Chains A and B, each alone.
Chain A
Amino acid sequence: MKILILERRLVPSDSALAIAVTTALSVLAALLIGGLLMIPFGANPFQAYYQLFEAGFATWRGFGFTLVKAAPLIMVGLATICAWRTGFAYLGFEGCLLIGAAAATWTAMQALPGGFLEDVPFFAFLPVVLMVSMCAGAIWSGIVGLLKSRFGGNEVITSLMMNYIAVFVVQYLVSGPLRAPGDLPQSPRLPQETWLPYLFDGSRAHLGIVIALIASFVVWVLLLKSRIGYELIVTGLNPKAARYGGINVGSRQLLAAFLAGGLAAVAGMVDILGIHHRLVDGLAEGTGFIGIVVALLGGLNPLGCVLAALLYAGLSVGADAMQRQAGLPASVIFIVQSLIILFVLASDLMRYYRVRSRATVVMNTKVESR
């Protein structure tokens, strides 16, 4: 007679099959819990999930919204990849996004009548606004990077603190220097020539997603196909070995900080010029943190990050639609989104075990032989 037993491994199985199976199980478990959470609201979970995926992926209009939401997530995800793979545990993307948004707003305001960018065509304006936002974001994250590489400060706490300061900077800008006349603390509406053009008719998808896709290709080449990327990754894997191999660890960490800040700032620029068309308070709404989740779900790989961002953005768009149509709270989907990644992390534990079938007779002899 044969029975199935669980056997503990010394090291977790890292075969592609094991990872795929545990990841799929994690996603299923999260969707299952989400389904259970829908029942008290009197919804049919299967129907709700069907509506959700239809709204996020299957309609042209909905998929456009998905692309709009995915663009900043991809940018923050790429920033996470650059920083974390270099061993720079940066958490200040929310702040970089806000600073990038503020810099983009300021630049676009120069295209108002009387500004020095007045009458500049869009194809010339775009590189300028990209450069300004990226530099602003890079300087912002560079402060933390400099403290880390120069003085050995703890970047986890300092970067979290910088997020709050960035919120105050934006609050100050919209209530003072960049404020438009009127009752609300907000910047003037940006001139239409500076908006990111829409890609298709009947869809809100704008140029931001193209920028994000190009950026992910550039990051892929830079990180995985170039010498600098190699040095960054070695620094992240083992700083001592990197130093021994002749890599200047401090300068590489600083470079990673600049890259991370610059990329996350583009997320802010894309949201300003693509959606809001003006600077307002309360802009980031956690994109800087969801982007980290996206990067982790994508295995800290640029391509995986794009796919994970599309999945997360589609789920968010579907969640909004679900809330409007079925009266289900969108928070169910936020719960599912974060559970997916927590379960993926916890499923590492599952890979410590293997299932074996074994004859009971063998078991008995083993016991007797003790």
Chain B
Amino acid sequence: MSEGFVFSVFLVAWLSAAARLSIPLLLAALGETFAERSGVLNIGIEGTMLLGAITSYLVTLWSGSPWIGLVAAMFVGLLANVFLAWMYVHVRANQVVVGIIFNILALGITSYSYRLGMGDVAGPQKAEMFEPIAIPVLSSIPVLGPILFHHSILFYLTIALVAVASFVLYRTRFGLQLRAAGENPRAASAAGISIVQMRYCGVLISGAAAATAGAYLVLVQIGLFRETIVAGQGFIALAVVIFGRWDPWKAALAAFVFGAADALQLSLQLYQIGLPPQLLLSIPYIVTIIAMSGMLGKTHQPEALMTSWRRE
């Protein structure tokens, strides 16, 4: 075998894994972009992802259809985020505090529901999953084909969602109003925009997206449920949003970078390279810290992010 062939096998394995691993990050980040653009830092997406994962798992097991599981997960995500939005917007509680405690609550609810739903069923049961779909013609392109055109339906939908999100955010009246609520709520309110409505919309969109991301982990990646299934991916999605400068297309790129770093350490562990895998694993986090540190100039976050709004 030539070295070139080995390298191309490695490249295909690495990048197709990267594409698969970056989707949940991207989904959650797309939603969070809307929340943050409306002025709310929704740290609760970590917990919402977990709720989405458990809901999709239990409902798919019960109904046998991943589609029903997905819809149920989105519904639960919306419901949980109505509560979060109420805490952020009406109670005007500290957004960081509410998010952190909601994540602990979500872990409790998840493990309770698992006990209630599974009872004493011995051994893990595999849920029905979304199977990969090979797109005709395109999937037979060498290298690119298996990387981009041999994935589950949710993969293609997510890519489409990036375009939709970008269009809604920059080309519609709703997007303009949402961004106004997050940049300058006083001026926006004076112009007749309901800040309350916009922020509820932002948080609810992030909730539905995060729950879908959680469902993806179950229905596409492993088909099982564990309490450690999310393991900080919601927080990484927060970093993806910042790294992507609150823009859907840049978020897609950022999510791919994070997914690639994750997939790289998996691949490199197989190849027995001398570097400790933890060093590779921590690269995305270190990059985020540097990006957020202010050393590279100020990032232009929405002006009113993390401030609560009261009409005067």
Contacts and interface: CB of A to CB of B under 8 A. Distances in A.
Contact of A345 (B87, B235, B289): B87
A345 B97 contact: yes
Interface stretch (A20-28, A195-203, A230-238, A327-335): A327-335
B278 A153 contact: no
Nearest to A176: B276
A335 B238 CA distance: 24
Interface in A30-71: 37, 40-41
B108 A338 contact: yes
A162 interface: yes
A157 B238 contact: yes
Contacts of A160: 235, 238
Interface residues of B, number: 44
Interface residues on A, range: 35 or more
B302 to A, nearest CB: 12
Nearest to B299: A154
A168 B101 contact: no
B41 A345 contact: no
By DSSP majority rule, is chain A's interface helix, strand, loop, or mixed? helix
Contacts of B101: 293, 338, 341-342
By DSSP majority rule, is chain B's interface helix, strand, loop, or mixed? helix
Contact of B104 (A89, A176, A289): A289
A211 B173 CA distance: 59
B74 to A, nearest CB: 22
A91 B276 CA distance: 27
Interface in A268-307: 286, 289-290, 292-293, 296
28 contacts: A91-B96, A147-B289, A147-B292, A153-B293, A154-B242, A157-B239, A158-B292, A158-B293, A161-B235, A161-B292, A162-B289, A165-B285, A165-B286, A169-B278, A175-B276, A176-B276, A289-B100, A296-B97, A331-B108, A331-B110, A331-B115, A334-B105, A337-B108, A338-B101, A342-B98, A342-B101, A342-B102, A349-B90
Interface of B: 41, 43, 87, 90-91, 93-94, 96-98, 100-105, 107-112, 115-116, 232, 235, 238-239, 242, 276, 278-279, 281-282, 285-286, 288-289, 292-295, 298, 301
Given A331-B109, A332-B108, 6 more contacts: A37-B112, A158-B293, A160-B238, A165-B285, A169-B278, A338-B102
